[in-house]
A and B are shown apart, each in its own frame.
Chain A
Amino acid sequence: MRSTFARLILLLLVAGGVTLAGQQAQPPGPVTNQDLIDGLKADGSSWLTFGGNYANHRYSPLTQITPENVSKLQPVWTFQTGTLGNFETTTLVRDNVLYATGPQNVAWAVDARSGRQIWRYRRELPDNLTACCGLVNRGFAALGDRLFMTTLDAHLLALDMKTGNVVWDATLGDYQTGYASTLAPLVVKDKVIVGVAGGEYGIRGFIDAYDARTGKQAWRFYTIPGPGEPGFNSWAGESWKIGGTGVWVTGAYDAEQNAIFFGTGNPGPDYHSGSREGDNLYSCSLVVLDADTGKLKWHYQFTPHDVHDYDSTEVPILADLTINGQPRKTVMFANRNGFYYTLDRVTGRVIVAKPFVQTTWAKAVDAQGRPMLEAGHTPDEKGERTCPDLTGGTNFWPPSYDPRSRLFFVNAREACATFYGYKPEYVAGQRFTGGAQQLVQNRDEKPFGALRALDPATGERKWEFLMPTPSRSGILTTASNLLFSGDGDGNLLALDSRTGKLLWRYQMGSTLHGTSPVTYMLDGRQHLLVPAGTTLTAWTLPDTAAASTR
């Protein structure tokens, strides 16, 4: 810039904000803690956390797309990853850019207007990974001008949001001894909180917090207590050292209590009861930790001494409800074991515990909230039939909560299996499950799916949408009474969230496997963004009431 005059003009332009058709006057600054607390704002400009807000509602305030016009949605563009494997991500949105993590720890920043890549991150992964269930990743977290992502070789990365370059790289555990990490991190204040996977590989699970700026470890909470700690006696002998209990789905944060809520995984070996007598704390539990220190505030164990691989790694949802005329602060949890729970999120007391699918291993809980086991459901060499199967009544795919209608929505599975168990030998880095299941599927009986709306105050089912193949899709709801999800055969669905009536569908060619759509405003128009298989597709209405600035 030669002349002072020219510099002055430039300064004025920048200060005044250069307005191009359809763009905001001022770009947003770095992501702040307040942004994360605010959740999904009315202007629809961002999606900054795994669950939409810290309570994991996945509920958008946007109303431009309605039950009346949703059938007019049109595709805007499709992005393809060019990478083997499927999305399991929740896409973040900020300043008209989409941030998605994909299979094999590849990740992208994509222009929301055109679907064109802005940057791509790719990681050199070692050969002998111990990821049980696909080379997947469930999403970024964001703070400042950084994104955070876990990796299949058990690392936590901070990436520069503008370039995808690695800012810091922290090691969570040794991937060769069974550790991996696949969840979307949770940012709370100045810390990035993550867990590890490996329940089928004899790990000792934990939740870790890292300083967002430096990558230094701030605290660790072992999901299996050590010698002398409370709960240590719930593991016979040395079984605590290789007891699994991973944490591989993102939790919730309650700012009022400064507490984080995480579901924990199955104890290992998965099916062989005799290898680990005792309740096996804190496997198959909800653990509530102080966000600053990682200390345990309280826990509730959904499935003591689980022998059916019923990981409680489902997404907890926080909500304030009115129950029996009283206001209650609750956490809502649809569990893999087939039960739906509403718990008091301050005391941990059970308010509702009721099956939402067919269950045979237990049909009710007692006054203390402990499941009352039915006889004959311990896997052995002969095999025993149990419902639900190991994939469960539901699993890692996110549910949603509509705070106006006060309905909880979950993709449920009705499936049964014959479970076998036998004593396994532990070898570091090898599968350590002690059994297997055989799914019941024949001409007379086979698994099916149902997207169910539950009243969280009672656990009663309000409506269901049946599907011939069970779905693994997450759910998005909106303030205009819309529900977006996918079925088990690749159909993207829009339902009326009040009734479950089908309003619109599109065959994506791949299921929404563990992903859910997100929605945001872009240039005055509400968009739906759908990850499915190896694609991202953006949808919008052909013309809208809210005129754009073009």
Chain B
Amino acid sequence: MRTTLGGLVVAIVSVTGILLGAQSEPPAVNPLAGNADAIQTGMGLFRSRCADCHGMDARGVRGPDLTQVWASGRSDAGLFRTLRRGVAGTEMPSVGPRTPDDEVWKILAYLKTIAAPTTSDVEVGNASNGERVFRAQCAGCHTVNGTGGRLGPDLSRIGSARARGAIVRRVRGATEDFLEGYQPVIITLKNGQTVRGVRKNGDLFSVQIMDGRERIQGYLKSDVREVADGKASAMPVFGTERLNESDLNDLLAYLSTLKGFDPSVR
């Protein structure tokens, strides 16, 4: 029974792999690692296809900082799968069926030359106290592994998605930019009431939001008095009086364990 099921799974994966133009099981190690030509081509591919979101230096713009991926324990094969498939539930697309495997390896060969070999993040802190801190201070707006609030982004894979420094900056209140889908918006209704929330989508004539009570709703601009961009993030600032250094370290230790459900995150 188990063998038959296993065989069926392998068959399905193989067929899917053939249909995707990919191998069913990628090599464990990048076959083009260290190859000067591959790195040169990979640089061009990275800059034209990845840098818009991840930055020319791979330190993250709209997308995460990639310089810590190997240091945080990701494998070549896992990263290959992430590029081939994209990341479900995020803006990270798949490279697409018309991109051959060797182009993916070239991108990774280049990325390795600008990434950190070992982590510069020093792990300190007590992760289980960090989980307690998270439940008390963050879970009202953030979901982890199915539990928590919805106003802010789901953090189930934040340990893979963001380096420590980026998380600290957000928590301490230095929001450089608003994430797509989380820009603050204030709608003033015709009766003068205001609705505050985060903007999910919109155009010249309408806006779609989630409000502070987690209600999702669309509004026609012609039916309301005003739609204004909020200046301040919906996320509060957690200064040291609200979250001391010790609790912050514990929180970060907990967050670094959150790698999500994606099986390719290995």
Contact = CB atoms under 8 A, between A and B. Distances in A.
Interface string B177-219: 1100000000000000000000000111100000000000000
A467 B44 contact: no
A425 B37 CA distance: 9
Interface stretch (B46-54, B67-75, B79-87, B113-121): B46-54
Interface stretch (A63-71, A364-372, A486-494): A486-494
A31 interface: no
Residue of B41, B98, B203 with most partner-chain A CB within 10 A: B203
B11 interface: no
B203 A443 contact: no
Given A420-B47, A438-B52, A469 B203 contact: yes
A424 B56 contact: no
B40 interface: yes
A533 interface: no
Interface of B: 37, 40-41, 43-45, 47-48, 51-52, 55-56, 61, 98, 176-178, 202-205
A383 B52 contact: no
Contact of A489 (B176, B177, B204): B204
Overall SS of chain A's interface:
loop
A505 interface: yes
Given A438-B52, A439-B52, A491 B44 contact: no
Contacts of B37: 425
Nearest to A129: B98
Contacts of A443: 177-178
Nearest to A418: B56
A81 interface: no
A436 B204 contact: no
A303 B23 CA distance: 45
Contacts of A383: 56
Nearest to A469: B203
Contacts of A433: 44, 48
A468 interface: yes
A217 B110 CA distance: 45
A469 B201 CA distance: 12
A4 interface: no
B56 A487 contact: no
A443 B199 CA distance: 14
A487 B204 CA distance: 9
B204 A491 contact: yes
Contacts of A487: 203-204
Given A424-B44, A436-B47, A468 B52 contact: no
Contacts of B204: 467-468, 487, 489, 491, 505
B92 to A, nearest CB: 17
B56 A438 contact: yes
B183 to A, nearest CB: 8
Contacts of A308: none
Nearest to A442: B177
A430 B45 CA distance: 11
A468 B201 CA distance: 12
Nearest to A435: B47
Interface of A: 129, 383, 418, 420, 422, 424-425, 430-431, 433-436, 438-439, 442-443, 467-469, 487, 489-491, 505, 507
Residue of A467, A489, A490 with most partner-chain B CB within 10 A: A489
Given A468-B204, A491-B205, A505-B205, A425 B40 contact: yes
5 contacts: A422-B44, A436-B47, A490-B203, A505-B204, A505-B205
A442 B37 CA distance: 34
Contacts of B178: 443
Contact of B44 (A436, A442, A489): A436
A431 B44 contact: yes
A430 B98 CA distance: 13
A424 B43 CA distance: 10
A418 B56 CA distance: 10
Nearest to B183: A443
A420 B56 CA distance: 9
Contacts of A467: 204
Given A424-B44, A433-B44, A443-B177, A438 B51 contact: yes
B36 to A, nearest CB: 11
A424 B177 CA distance: 34
Contacts of A425: 37, 40-41
Contacts of A431: 44-45, 48
A487 B202 CA distance: 13
Contacts of A424: 44
Nearest to B55: A438
Nearest to B203: A489
Contacts of A442: 176-177
Contacts of A490: 203
A491 B51 contact: no
A490 to B, nearest CB: 7
Contacts of B51: 436, 438
A420 B55 CA distance: 12
B50 to A, nearest CB: 10
Residue of B44, B61, B178, B205 with most partner-chain A CB within 10 A: B44
A507 B218 CA distance: 14
A129 B98 CA distance: 9
Contacts of A469: 203
A164 to B, nearest CB: 26
A346 B216 CA distance: 60
A98 B152 CA distance: 48
A242 to B, nearest CB: 15
A419 to B, nearest CB: 11
Contacts of B176: 442
